[in-house]
Amino acid sequence: MAIGIKAPHLAIVPHALAVAGAVMVLVWCIYFLGGLAWESSNKSLIFNIHPVLMLIGFIIIGGEAIMSYKSLPLRKEVKKVIHLVLHAIALILGIIGIYTAFKYHNESSIANLYSLHSWIGIGVIVLYGIQWIYGFLVFFYPGGSTELRRESLPWHVLFGLLVYILAIGNASIGFLEKLTFLENSGLEKYGAEAYLVNFTALVTILYGAFVIFTVFSEAPTEDDHGYSAI
């Protein structure tokens, strides 16, 4: 199934949403929440690294990795490397982002892994890592047989999209969780910061949706069937 729109044209929308989401999360964490810090007496500054890395590093770069196979009019071998490297960057930044949440909790004497957001987050990063390792071994190096790659490809694509959808959903839960904590601490429910967080979550969801739409759009004419062969 394919959407009757060329992938490079459709990809313009998620690219714009990615820029908007990145700007919004940075404004939130730097302007409203006070900035970012790896070490600080104000432990909240450590936590602020978490939403920045999870949105920009994991969700956005991960989405760009997914779209690269369909939206770039490049040779298959080049797209394979871009796809692999972008996913590796997303995975690494995601792991660091999760670590900062643990670091904040540990240094603030807050329990770890008590929320649905944290449970799903650990599951997503583990599944993402498994997906990347499998893709590297089967499609890149040392590479599986032609039959194995052909049989694995539909499942690799499907599993990758399911993991990404989980990541988008969990990011939305994370925004809601943090905003709820802030509102319980006195943040104005109809204030600028509350609206910013909600709109950032909406942009994240829209970005994820258009990433999926791009996967099912038409490959550019220079492309050699996009996802149909690796």
Number of compact structural domains in the chain? 1
Q: What percent of the chain has pLDDT over 90?
A: 83
Q: What is the CATH number of the domain that holds 61?
A: 1.20.120.1770
Whether residue 224 lies inside any domain: the answer is: no
Write down the pLDDT at residue 2.
Answer: 61
pLDDT at 67 over 60: yes
Write down the pLDDT at residue 76.
Answer: 86
141-164 per-position pLDDT tens digit? 998 899 999 999 999 999 999 999
- Residues 6 or more apart whose Cβ sits within 8 Å of residue 143: 137, 149
Write down the pLDDT at residue 6.
Answer: 83
Write down the pLDDT at residue 190.
Answer: 96
Whether residue 213 lies inside any domain: the answer is: yes
Whether residue 227 lies inside any domain: the answer is: no
Whether residue 225 lies inside any domain: the answer is: no
Residue range of the domain that includes 43: 3-218
Name 218's bridge partners.
6
Quick check: 179 and 81 in contact, CB under 8 A?
A: no
Q: Which comes out higher in pLDDT, residue 226 or 51?
A: 51
Whether residue 28 lies inside any domain: the answer is: yes
CA 24/CA 190 separation, integer angstroms: 17
